[in-house]
Amino acid sequence: MLNNKKIIDVISAHRAPIIIALVTILCLAFFVNKAFHIDDTLFVWAAKQIQNCPADFYGFYVNWYGFDAPMFLVTQNPPIACYYIALVASLFGFGEITIHISFLVPAVAAALGTYYLAKRYCSRPVWAALAAVLTPGFLVSGTSVMCDVMMLALWVWSVFFWLRGIEKNNSPDLFYAVVLASVCALTKYFGMSLLPLLFVYAIVKKREFGRWALFLLIPILILACYQWRTYSLYGYGLLSTATAYASARFNPSQYLKLLTKMITGLTFTGGCTAVILFYIPLLWSKRTLLIVSVFTVLLIVVLRYAGLIGGQINGGEFAKWFLFVQAGLMAAAGVCILLIMIMDLWKSKNAESLLLLLWTAGTFVFAVFVNWSINARSLLPLIPAAGILLFRQIERYENIFARKIKIWQLVLPLVISAVLAICVCRADYLLANSARSAAAAISRIYKDNPRTIWFQGHWGFQYYMELCGGRAFNFRIPQLESGDIVIIPVNNTNAAYLSEDSVAFNKSLMFTKGRFLATMNIPSGAGFYTNILGPLPFAFGNVAGEEYLIYSVK
| pLDDT reported for residue 10 | 43
Judge whether 545 lies within some domain: yes
254 pLDDT higher than 60: no
Judge whether 22 lies within some domain: no
Please, what sign has the CA dihedral across residues 308, 529, 428, 425? negative
Helix (H) or strand (E) holding 225: helix 217-234
Phi and psi angles of residue 91, each rounded to the nearest 5 degrees, phi first: -95, -40
Inter-residue contact 77 to 121 (CB < 8 Å): no
Q: How far apart, in Å, do the first and last CA atoms of the chain sit?
A: 80
255 pLDDT higher than 60: no
Helix (H) or strand (E) holding 63: strand 61-63
Phi and psi angles of residue 553, each rounded to the nearest 5 degrees, phi first: -75, 130
Report the pLDDT averaged over residues 242-268: 71
Candidates 185, 160, 50, 57; CA nearest to 109 is: 160
| pLDDT reported for residue 506 | 84
Cβ of 257: how many Cβ atoms within 10 Å?
12
Judge whether 236 lies within some domain: no
| Domain count within the chain | 1
Cα–Cα dist 400/398, whole Å: 6
18 pLDDT higher than 50: yes
Q: pLDDT for 482-520, tens place per residue?
A: 888 899 999 888 888 888 888 888 888 888 777 789 999
Cα–Cα dist 517/319, whole Å: 13
| pLDDT reported for residue 7 | 44
Q: pLDDT for 439-470, tens place per residue?
A: 999 999 888 888 889 999 999 999 999 998 88
Range of the domain at 493: 427-553
Judge whether 498 lies within some domain: yes
Judge whether 368 lies within some domain: no
| pLDDT reported for residue 480 | 83
CA distance to 162, 233, 374, 431, per residue, from 549 (Å): 54, 40, 29, 17
Cα–Cα dist 322/458, whole Å: 31
Judge whether 350 lies within some domain: no
**pLDDT level of residue 308 (50, 70, 90 thresholds):** low
Inter-residue contact 49 to 74 (CB < 8 Å): no
Q: pLDDT for 326-341, tens place per residue?
A: 888 999 999 999 999 9
Residue 522 exposed, middle or buried by CB count within 10 Å (0-12, 13-18, 19+)? middle
Inter-residue contact 360 to 338 (CB < 8 Å): yes
**pLDDT level of residue 537 (50, 70, 90 thresholds):** very high
**pLDDT level of residue 253 (50, 70, 90 thresholds):** low
Judge whether 299 lies within some domain: no
Please state at what angle helix 171-185 crosses helix 194-206, rounded to 10 degrees. Answer: 150
Residue-wise DSSP of 121-171: T-S-HHHHHHHHHSSHHHHHHHTS-SSHHHHHHHHHHHHHHHHHHHHHT-H
Judge whether 7 lies within some domain: no
Cα–Cα dist 513/490, whole Å: 14
Q: pLDDT for 61-94, tens place per residue?
A: 999 998 999 999 999 899 999 999 999 999 999 9
Torsion of CA 388, 106, 61, 240, to 10 degrees: 40
